[in-house]
Structure 1
Amino acid sequence: MTELVATTPGLFPLPDWAKSDLSDLKGHQKEDLVDGDEADAVRDAYATARGEVVDAQVDAGLDRVVDGQLRWDDMLAHPLTVHDDVETRGIVRYYDNNNFYREPVVSEELDFSGDVADELDATAALTDEPVQAVLPGPYSLADLATDEYYEDDREFLAAISEFLAGEADAFPDVETLYLLEPSLVENAPDDDVADDLASAVTTVADAVDAAVVVQPYWGALDEKTHAHLLDADVDAIGYDFVANHEDNLYNINEYGTTDDVSLGLVDGQNTLVEDPEVVRDRVDWVHEQAVSADFDTTYVTTNTELFYLPYAKYEAKLDVLGEAVSLAEVEA
């Protein structure tokens, strides 16, 4: 029987008070503030907000607690935009939606930063629950960045993967690491780098003593990309069953998948709050339809990051995930 784990891919919205306070602080002190070098008042506000999102996850009964990535103004590009040796330039649209990030331009050799490890240290100090780390996957981070140093797509992907591995190696003890890979769907790797995808992902995964989940979203992987990703040494691959259940189910049944699986079954962008019993039924449906798979662990999660949602809706989505898994466990 599969173990069900309620979790999220992180990247939460700020609490309403924090949005207002941080906007005022950064507006008044803009000349002194950049990500990674906040004034004390800004750091204190983020620390308080971190405590709130940790408490919300624990109260919802989630099995994994994430930092929330509240400082990630540049979303998945964050680990590069706060790097001392990476230049940030103009505003770029975040895939095909109304969110934006500062373009990170890599013009020197990437070295260790430690920014995400510091966040996880702070989170681990707030809870006794299992902690889950979140990073952009190496392909997505390379896709969102601009390379002016390595000047070769394969070399750049390898450098990004080594950079992320160095960051992950500094993490405190974590139970799970989610690597978020929307670019695998939105801008699938071409033949120049596709063969290097598994190696890049494995490089990051090998840096942690934790279960590693690769979570693509905003649709389904094409067959070639799915096949390459299956060659990576990870514990679970994720599938966005909100955006495209047919093609994701086809990939699982036609080509197989990992022993564990991550199912994006709650909409991370839509403010409509699902019924926990409906989500429980979706878990059962995937298990019944995935005729070629017998999963050891099933991570039940939202299909995307949650920063798109108003804060109250984000909290409600956490409650849905926790209750859906609790219902399934009771009925089992």
Structure 2
Amino acid sequence: MTELVSTTPGLYPLPDWAKQELSDLKGHQKHDLISGNEGGDIVGAYDRAREEVVSEQTDAGLDRVVEGQLRWDDMLAHPLTVHENVETGGIVRYYDNNNFYRDPQVSGELTFSGDVAAELDATADLLGGDESLQAVLPGPYSLSDLATDEHYGDEAEFLDAVSEFLAGEVDAFPDHETLFLLEPSLVFSPPGEDVDERVPGAISAVSDATDADVVVHTYWGALDEKVYAHLMDADVDAIGFDFVAGDRDQTLYNVNEYGTKDDIALGLVDGQNTLVEDPETIRERVEWTLDNVQSQTFDTAYVTSNTELFYLPENRATEKLAALAAATEDELEVEA
């Protein structure tokens, strides 16, 4: 029997009321934001927005609840853009997804920050000891890929520094059931030969900093065969795959040729399309996908959107949460 766990990769759209309120507040406090200080009104607005998205997930019945990452204006680059030794450069586009963010330029040592841990502490308080908390971070390769190194001077050394930084952040997290490390750059801009063999060790260093189950979730397409073979060396519990935007045949080939971890994450709900999949459709996709993995059965299958839900209107994102939860109410028996 495979346990189906409903979850998401985080990074939710801001509630509609919060978009306007925060836009007004940030306009009035622009100088403070440039200097890295969020005023009390801004902090309060984000607190209320966090409470709302956490409630939406618990009301929907999701098995894993994320903080929502509503403050992450620069998406996966956020843990660096708020760091004291990082300058935020000009506007750039990540992954050709028509969203624009600031370029984090690392100008000093990546010391401990605690920014994400503080967000998760607040989320844990909202959940009141519930064991459903899921932490979300960019994976070390994607975070290093999105940044500009002006301090370490070597691509491999920079990857190691980012990995050590993330591991230190994870060590400060409150108790959490699952950690999703988001690694779209492994698909979109795969590492070159000088770095590819170092990626599993970088990911493992972050994974080793927690006792939670760790999922490396990849998306924006299918992994190259060589990248996937290296990724299998990472010490994690599950690898996640994009079955919406990706080449399904390539992904299934990788899994059947090289095997995968004892658990798997299935990106089967479209994180960018406003069409809401019904629970029956999601369940059919889960069954079809697992039936076509010929190499093994799984202890746990995380059923998720392929990408972050940030790109959707708030109401559509909420509807997709409910569909994910309804589709995974029961375990699934898959023939080996």
Q: What are the Cα deviations for residues 291-324 of structure 1, in whole angstroms up to 9, with x where unaligned? A: 1021111000000001000000010110110011
1:220 equivalent in structure 2: 222
1:179 equivalent in structure 2: 181
2:202 equivalent in structure 1: 200
1:285 equivalent in structure 2: 288
Confirm whether residue 191 of structure 1 aligns to residue 170 of structure 2: no
2:300 equivalent in structure 1: 297
* TM-score normalised per structure 1: 0.98
Q: What are the Cα deviations for residues 268-307 of structure 1, in whole angstroms up to 9, with x where unaligned? A: 0000000110100111111111010211110000000010
Q: 1:36 and 1:273, CA in 2 relative to 1: closer, same or farther beyond 3 A?
A: farther
* TM-score normalised per structure 2: 0.96
The letter for the 2-side match of 1:157 is: L
Given that 2:2 and 2:333 are in contact with CA atoms closer than 8 Å, whether structure 1 keeps it comes out as: no
Q: 1:34 and 1:71, CA in 2 relative to 1: closer, same or farther beyond 3 A?
A: farther
The letter for the 1-side match of 2:322 is: D
1:160 equivalent in structure 2: 162
Confirm whether residue 145 of structure 1 aligns to residue 147 of structure 2: yes
Q: CA deviation at 1:248?
A: 1.0
Relative to structure 2, which stretch is displaced further, 87-96 or 196-205?
87-96
Q: Secondary structure at the match of 1:269?
A: coil
Q: Report 1:39-118 matches (<5 A).
A: 39-118=39-118
Q: CA deviation at 1:31?
A: 1.6
Given that 1:65 and 1:129 are in contact with CA atoms closer than 8 Å, whether structure 2 keeps it comes out as: no
Q: CA deviation at 1:37?
A: 2.1
Distance 1:34 1:181 in 2: 28
Given that 2:76 and 2:138 are in contact with CA atoms closer than 8 Å, whether structure 1 keeps it comes out as: yes
The letter for the 1-side match of 2:140 is: P
Unaligned runs of 5+ in 2: none
Confirm whether residue 170 of structure 1 aligns to residue 175 of structure 2: no
Relative to structure 2, which stretch is displaced further, 101-110 or 169-178?
101-110
Q: Secondary structure at the match of 1:33?
A: helix
Q: What are the Cα deviations for residues 72-118 of structure 1, in whole angstroms up to 9, with x where unaligned? A: 00000000000011111101102111111111111111100000000
Unaligned runs of 5+ in 1: none
Distance 2:332 2:233 in 1: 35
1:26 equivalent in structure 2: 26
Distance 2:39 2:82 in 1: 15
Given that 2:262 and 2:300 are in contact with CA atoms closer than 8 Å, whether structure 1 keeps it comes out as: yes
The letter for the 2-side match of 1:103 is: D
Distance 1:320 1:171 in 2: 29
For residue 260 of structure 2, the aligned residue among 257, 282, 299 is 257
Q: Secondary structure at the match of 2:195?
A: helix
1:6 equivalent in structure 2: 6
Relative to structure 2, which stretch is displaced further, 247-256 or 35-44?
35-44
Q: Secondary structure at the match of 1:125?
A: helix
Q: Percent identity?
A: 69
The letter for the 2-side match of 1:109 is: E
Q: What are the Cα deviations for residues 8-39 of structure 1, in whole angstroms up to 9, with x where unaligned? A: 00000000000010001111221222495210
